[in-house]
Amino acid sequence: MHGFFYPFKCVNLFFKYPKLILYSIVPMTINMIIYGTIFFFAYNWLIGSSSGVIESKVSNNIIVEILGLLLKLFSFFLVLLLCYFAFVIFGGLISAPFNEKMSKLIEEEEFGIYIDDGLTFFSELFQYKRRD
């Protein structure tokens, strides 16, 4: 149950280090713009395609209207689910550079750990192994 409250406990870090807000808002804004646009166009394309088939092939009655409404609802949740998966996968890639900057800021300011910027992954791993 403690894990649920960690985000609420860490909100004070945003107020203590305002640069974290910038590092958090920039990738979230980029992700929201990209996936909002994808959702908008995908949903409109899917609804346009399905409504064109329903309207041209079937006569209008109450059953067709209910099925059309259910199809729109199903399409909405399907596109929402696909955009969620895309957001989780690609959102991590977009926010990765910002996560590194946030981690470095917290390590330096909160814990006093200073990391050289010029180290590659393998040289950092080698230094870590050498210290152990």
Give the whole-angstrom CA distance, residue 124 versus residue 121.
Answer: 5
pLDDT at residue 121, rounded to an integer: 67
pLDDT, tens digit, 9 for 90 and up, residues 50-59: 766 666 666 6
Q: Is the pTM of this model over 0.75?
A: no
Q: Burial level of 94, CB count in 10 A (0-12/13-18/19+)? A: middle
